[in-house]
Structure 1
Amino acid sequence: MRILYGVQATGNGHITRARAMLPALRAQGIHVDFVFSGRERHHYFDMEAFGRYRCFQGFTYNMHKGRVRWPQTLADARPGAFIGDVCRLDLRRYDWVLTDFEPVSAWAAKLQGVPSVGLAHQYALRYPLPGTPALPLLRWSISAFAPAQYYLGVHWQPFDAPVLPPLIQAGNTTLSDDGFILVYLPFESLTFVCRWLKPFTRHRFRIYAATPYAFDEAAHIEVRPLSRQAFPLDLAHCSGIICNTGFGLCSEAMAAGKKILTRPLQNQIEQQSNATVLQQMGRATVMTDFDDEVLTQWLAQAAATQTLFPDPAPAVAQWLAGGCRTPVQQVADSVWQHAGTAAQGLEPFKAV
């Protein structure tokens, strides 16, 4: 079997999910090629695992100070270039297309009649979730952006829907608390974030940002360049993490047993929904702005417990290798039930 795996690259969580899926797909004897869209090629990093991947422009958000600017986002879209990319992507060599909310591969599959599977956190928003507004066009718009023949959402709870647990790369480090706070706020101004943290001299902060070199902003504030090798190690050894409310990183923090202080991007339905679910689960402190009092209270909080998510990758890979004959709801239920988690509502996870 030969699969084209399309990955939305506006955020690193989609890429992390693909990293987690790749070994399971290969274990089933599936040959996988990758396409990515949503950022310029020179903005990718640590991509060796994906071999000779292709890049397309796709679509991405126009961000300013942690807010999605929808008029500018629409103005930046180039529908002509998108249509050209879809038409040029030849899928005759592939048996299936697997799309992680990547629109070029998804639409190419639809137009060329190649069977496709959508595997992404965004597809969970096609179903009623806490914190998700009842927008009549939400389900339609998600499917229209990156359509697929079969949809598998990904979330922290099953929600009585075809939704899988998070796809997280297995860690190879021992978890510990080395007394520093990890900070990853890529859509915020680095200068502003450093200024916000500067008065909290009794705590150490390690910020990852789009900088070409490491430097110390202050005695207690370190700034480090993005790194797929170093970041997971720091996540394993930090006391907690301050981040936006992207699904992938919050999942990794929960799995590592780290407390979370998160600021969802404004005007972004996905992150607003994630924030509501995290609050209901008692797994994060949510801030709407950079509030000193909220930070003070969060820093004083005790450590979090580790969340044990079942790994859905082997089941999904086996399902794909078998031609996706089992209903998607049955696939999702089997993964949750294998871990002893009730496939309904907001049942708590097993914590250690």
Structure 2
Amino acid sequence: MKILYGVQGTGNGHIARARAMSHTLKKRGVEVDFLFSGREQNKYFSMEDFGRYQTRRGLTFVTHNGEVSYLRTGLKNNLVSFMKEVIELDLSGYDLVLNDFEPVSAWAAKKQGKPSISISHQNAFRYSVPLKGASWMDKQIIRYFAPAQYHIGLHWYHFGQPILPPIVHTPQHFAEEHDFVLVYLPFEALDDISDLLLRFSSQHFVCYHPDIIEQQAIENILLLPLSFEGFQSHLHRCAGVIANGGFELPSEALTLGKKLLLKPLAGQFEQLSNVATLEDLGMATCMEGLEASVVREWLDEEQAECVSYPDVAEAIVDWVLKGDWENQAELTTGLWDKVDFPSYVTNI
């Protein structure tokens, strides 16, 4: 079997999930090529796991000052260019297209009649899971942005729906925990983040941000450019994580037992829903803006406990290779029984 794996490149969470799937696919001897879209080619980093991957412009959402800007999104995207990429993507050499919310490969597979399987957190919102701030347009985007024949949704809890636990890839860094807090707020202005963190002079912060070119220290803040290996090392050693409301980073933090303070991207229903869900489950603290009072209270909170998730990537690859894609029941059966939540987790 030869697979093309299309990955949404606007967020590092999609790439982290693809990295976990890549390791498992390679371990099984599956030939797989990767295609990424939604980010400028020179903005990808730590991509060695994906071999000679392809990139496309695709479609993307643009943020400004911590929220989605629909005006900038409309100006950034070019539908004519997108359709040209779809038409020109030749899938004749592939048996299957796997997809993580990547529209070029998804629409090319639909157009060319290639079997396609979508694996994403976005697919969980096709089912009856907690939603916050989802408009009619948001629901249409979930359904039609990256269409596929088969859909696998991922979430932190099943909510009685046929979805799977997160795909988590956290390479082991056997290091002692330190008292610094890891900060990753890529959609917020760096000056605003610094102004917030400088208020807590006795607390050390390590902050990764796409606007940082070279490492620098400003009083109690260590500012670092994006790096997969460096970030993973700090994630394993930190005392807690302050982040936006994506899916993959909170999933990794939960498995490592790191307490979470999350600020959702305004106007982005997925992040609003994610943060509300984790707060309702008792697994994270929420702040609507960069609020010093919330940070102060969160810093005094006790450490979290680990959430134990099974090897979901391995289960999905087994199912893909078996070829009975109409039958997804065996995927969900048993996986959730292997999840171990901390005793303080509520509403489950």
Please report the TM-score for the alignment, with normalisation by the length of structure 1.
Answer: 0.93
Partner of 2:40: 40
For 1:230, the equivalent position in structure 2 comes to: 230
Query: Partner residue of 1:196?
Result: 196
> How big is the shift at 1:329?
3.6
Gaps of 5+ in 1: none
- Taking only the aligned residue pairs, the percentage that are identical comes to 42
Q: Give the letter for the 2:228 counterpart.
A: R
Distance 1:235 1:249 in 2: 9
1:95-145 deviation per Cα after TM superposition (whole angstroms, max 9, x unaligned):
000000000000000000000000000111111222345755554431210
Distance 2:28 2:235 in 1: 30
Tell me if structure 1 keeps the 8 A contact 2:181–2:240: yes
- Counterpart CA distance in 2 for 1:313 and 1:265 is 27
- For the pair 1:131 / 2:131, whether they are aligned, the reply is yes
CA 1:3 to 1:188, structure 2 compared with 1: closer, same or farther past 3 Å? same
Unaligned runs of 5+ in 2: none
The farther-off stretch of 154-163 and 299-308 is: 154-163
What is the distance in 2 between the residues matched to 1:37 and 1:271? 20
Contact 1:319/1:326, CA 8 A, preserved across alignment: no
Residue number in structure 2 paired with 1:282: 282
After superposition, the C-alpha distances for 1:141-168 in whole angstroms (9 at most, x for unaligned) are 3121000000001110112223111111
Alignment-derived partner of residue 267 in structure 2: 267
CA apart distance, 1:76: 1.8
DSSP 3-state at the match of 1:330 = helix
Whole-Å separation in 1 of the counterparts to 2:107 and 2:36: 14
Task: Specify the alignment match of 2:26 in structure 1.
Answer: 26
Structure 2 CA distance for partners of 1:29 and 1:324, relative to 1, 3 Å: farther
Letter of the structure 2 residue corresponding to residue 186 of structure 1: P
- The letter for the 2-side match of 1:212 is I
Using the size of structure 2 for normalisation, the TM-score is 0.94
- The 2-side partners of 1:194 and 1:88 are apart by 44
Query: Partner of 2:327 in structure 1?
Result: 327
SS in 2 for 1:279: helix
Aligned to 2:337: 337
Match of 2:143 in 1: 143
Matched-pair contact (CA < 8 Å) for 1:28–1:318: no
More displaced stretch, 175-184 vs 12-21: 175-184
State the AA in 1 paired with 2:92. Answer: R
125-134 or 190-199: bigger deviation: 125-134
* 1:116 aligned partner, one-letter code: S
Name the SS for the 1:334 alignment partner: coil
Q: CA RMSD in A?
A: 1.7
CA contact (8 A) 1:103 1:146 kept: yes
The 3 A distance-change label for structure 1 pair 323 and 67 is same
Moved more, 230-239 or 152-161: 152-161
